[in-house]
A and B are shown apart, each in its own frame.
Chain A
Amino acid sequence: MKKKLLSTILTCTIIAASLCACGSEDKSSNGKLYVYNWGEYIDEDVITQFEEETGIDVIYDMFETNEIMFAKLAQDTSAYDVVCPSDYMVQKLIENDMLQELDKSHIPNSKNIGEQYYIQASDFDPGNKYSVPYCWGTVGILYNKTMINEPVDSWDILWDEKYKDQILMQDSVRDSMMVALLKNGYSLNSTNPDEIEIATQDLIKQKPLVQAYVVDQVRDKMIGGEAALGVIYSGEAIYTARENPDLEYIVPKEGTNVWIDSWAITKGSKNVENAEKWIDFMCRGDIALKNFEYITYSTPNDVAKENIEDEDIKNSKVAFPDLSTMNTEAYKYLGTETDRLYNNAWMEVKSADY
């Protein structure tokens, strides 16, 4: 008897399963859109709003680092329609013929993006043919004022023995190498093997002091007081300070990386029209503003910036830093050979004993 009951339940589940599977296919009357964005990098309501306004079914995935995104696309550029890589990765994708040119006439809102950002972006995307800026910022140190009683103004503090087990480093090649390269006074785009080697040795020396190599977790760990110092993107500064007033973000005097993350459409995209709609939607003033208020990453959208109500934030040096006062440089794609040098160096750091 019970067996029969069990098998009935089982059958029902399977039938329900297949029905649901079919049902969800039918729902998307205006097609689908596969979006691949950074983790914690959008207000989820914005996605819902986009779906409601356009009737497009958004499948939203997140990546942790540019490299992970690249590997996924390299497997199959049709896996996603819209991606949000950083500067140097946009360049790498273009050079590997993995993006398609945008038809700006289908993205009228792209005019909302400030001119200076397009100029900056033309370094990695000449003529702004492939990408539209989404967010920008710097990389710096987030520290907990209650745990650190000295001025923080240099990357050197990340090598200070006092803070053993209190330091969070980024688990991504370029960002970690950047810290060590700048600390030694080199360019963060160094292609010189000797400089890369010195930076590598520095990171290995630092390893015993590091609590963990993480990406998005820096934010929660710093808020929770798990660590005293963390390398983090400027966009998290406002959010983290709001959640834990003891936290402060600074850009070290040696300089840092200034980055732009941009929307781009993949070469193999099967839903180009929807992808254009998505980018256009993201560039809309009200949407960019809503997004900014949620993720607090600096927006290049002039219309959105105009409409920020909180004057403190609007004029905040953290949210909208004046780049002329700091020593900044953007990442460049360094080519296959140097890429390998960096990857091997990072591998050496990660596998080192400590």
Chain B
Amino acid sequence: MKLFKSNKSAGLMASPYIAWALIFIVIPLCMVIYYGITSADGNLTIENIATIFKPGFFKALKRSVFLALISTFVCFILSYPLGMILSSMKLKKNAYIVTLFILPMWMNFLLRTLTWMTLLEKKGVINTIFEFMHLPTISIINTQGAIVLGMVYNFLPFMILPIYNSLNRIDENVINAARDLGADSLQTFWRITLPLSMPGILSGITMVFIPALTTFAISSMLGGSKILLIGNVIEQEFTQLYDWHLGSGLSIVLMIFIFINMIIENLADKGGVNK
């Protein structure tokens, strides 16, 4: 530890970021909390947070949780086999294949969502092709299904990457050892591969669940503004109804969800280390 002359110089080097983190991470969050627990006239209140239990708001939250869970699940189901296939391919150039899955992200999230709008519309690309082939047309746009599709499409890379990374890190020898000890492939999977890839799975789940839970662009673009998610509600409070206190109160509710998520991930992380 002789990199620094003293603790002080390390502190000095870290100080710009400490200041940065205070100003741009900690204080802003405190402001959200402050707005969330006060009313327009400056009095303390829990009304803003309690609004979540009003029927309209609660419905939006329930719907968001439901759709986010489905999307996360679908992402997981799609990603895990993919991760296994990719890691079994023993790619020499990891970065290359990984980039292949990050690549669509460089196209910007809204362009990707826009794509599905174009595809799914009543007179959109898919229906035109179906009509041409004399197949029945689908009407999925402006439904919950369209929103789930949009979420899966957008957030899939967030699930693929951590799962692939954790699977890739599993020591070949451990699996071979299990095989040598007589485990069949199913047993090896349940007892070795799956537990060892748990950290990747959990971090994938958080990385998909949170944006899916809180999105407002996907639901307004693919849901025709008919399907209100909690993200839409918060966005409206800020951009249309001009009620920052209520908007912040609802954000606090979201933060509670995020916090729970964080604890779960932390617990899993520790569990992984102990093993």
Do A and B belong to a common assembly?
yes
A interface residues (Cβ-Cβ under 8 A, vs B)? 65, 67-68, 70-72, 74-75, 165, 171, 207, 210-214, 224-227, 343-344, 347-348, 350-354
Please state if B123 and A71 are interface contacts (CB–CB under 8 Å): no
Q: B144 — nearest CB in chain A belongs to which residue?
A: A353
Q: Which residues of A contact B225 (CB under 8 A)?
A: 171, 212-214, 350
With beta carbons under 8 angstroms apart, the residue of A224, A351, A354 that contacts B123 is A224
Q: Can you identify 5 A-B contacts, CB atoms within 8 angstroms? A: A67-B240, A67-B241, A213-B224, A214-B224, A351-B59
On whether the beta carbons of A226 and B123 are closer than 8 Å, the reply is: yes
Measured between alpha carbons, how far is A212 from B224 in the docked complex, in Å? Answer: 4
B121 interfacial by beta-carbon distance below 8 Å: yes
A71 and B56: CB pair below 8 A?
no
Please name all residues of chain A whose beta carbon is closer than 8 Å to the beta carbon of B228 when the two chains form the complex: 347, 350-351
Partner of A68, one of B121, B142, B240: B240
Q: Are A348 and B55 in contact, with the CB atoms below 8 A?
A: yes
Cβ–Cβ < 8 Å partners of B238 in chain A: 71
Residues of B contacting A352 in the complex (Cβ-Cβ under 8 angstroms): 56, 59
Task: Contact check, A354 vs B242: say whether CB atoms are below 8 A apart.
Answer: no
A351 lies within 8 A of B142 (CB): no
CB distance from A269 to the nearest CB of B (A): 20
> Is B57 at the interface (CB under 8 A from chain A)?
yes
Q: Name the B residues within 8 Å of A65 (CB-CB).
A: 240
- The answer for the CA separation of A344 and B55 in the assembled complex, in Å, is 11
B249 to chain A minimum Cβ distance, whole angstroms, is 15
Inter-subunit contact A71/B226 (CB<8 Å): no
B60 and A211 contact, CB distance less than 8 A: no
Apart from A72-B239, A352-B56, 11 more pairs, CB < 8 Å: A71-B240, A71-B241, A165-B122, A211-B142, A212-B142, A212-B226, A213-B224, A214-B225, A350-B232, A351-B57, A351-B59
Interface residues of B in 110-145 (CB under 8 A from A): 121-123, 139, 142
Give Cα A344 to B237, complex, Å: 11
Is the beta-carbon distance between B224 and A343 smaller than 8 angstroms? no
CB of A179 to closest CB in B, whole Å: 16
Chain B residue numbers with a CB within 8 Å of A227 are: 122
Residues of B near A347 (CB, < 8 A) are 56-57, 228, 233, 236
Closest 5 CB pairs of A and B: A212-B224, A213-B225, A71-B242, A351-B228, A351-B56
A71 touches B233 (CB 8 A): no
A347 CA to B228 CA, complexed, in Å: 9
Question: Are B241 and A213 neighbours in the complex by a CB distance under 8 Å?
Answer: no
What separation, in Å, do the CA atoms of A332 and B75 have in the docked complex? Answer: 49
Assess A210 versus B226: contact at CB under 8 Å? Given A348-B55, A352-B59: yes
**Which chain A residue shows the least CB distance to B225?**
A213
Interface centre among A65, A165, A207, A351 (most CB of B within 10 A): A351
**What is the bound-complex CA distance between A212 and B233, given in angstroms?**
17
Complex Cα gap A227–B55 (Å): 31
Q: How far is the CA of A2 from the CA of B218 in the complex (A)?
A: 39
A218 to B55, CA, bound (A): 30
The CA of A77 and the CA of B139, in the complex, are separated in Å by 43
Quick one: closest A residue to B240, CB to CB? A67
Q: Are A353 and B224 in contact (CB under 8 A)?
A: no
Contact residues in A for B239 (Cβ distance below 8 Å): 68, 71-72
Nearest CB of B to A48, in Å: 27
Q: How far is the CA of A245 from the CA of B143 in the complex (A)?
A: 30
> Do residues B226 and A213 form an inter-chain contact, with CB atoms below 8 A?
yes
**Contact residues of B between 217 and 266, Cβ < 8 Å to A:** 224-226, 228, 232-233, 236, 238-242
Proximity bits, B51-85, A CB within 8 Å = 1, else 0? 00001110110010000000000000000000000
By a CB distance below 8 angstroms, the chain B residues around A67 are: 240-242
A212 to B228, CA, bound (A): 12
How far, in angstroms, from A32 to B142 measured CA to CA in the complex?
41
**Which residues of the partner chain A approach B240 to less than 8 Å between Cβ atoms?**
65, 67-68, 71
Looking at A67, A207, A350, which has the most chain B CB atoms within 10 Å of its CB? A350
* A74 in contact with B56 given A214-B225, A350-B228 (CB within 8 Å): no
A70 touches B242 (CB 8 A): yes
Minimum distance in angstroms from B153 CB to a CB of chain A: 20
Closest chain-B Cβ to A94's Cβ sits at a distance in Å of 16
Determine the chain B residues whose CB is within 8 A of the CB of A171 once the complex forms: 225
In the bound complex, residues from chain B placing their C-beta under 8 Å from that of A353 are: 59, 63
CA of A70 to CA of B55, assembled, Å = 27
Q: How far is the CA of A354 from the CA of B55 in the complex (A)?
A: 15
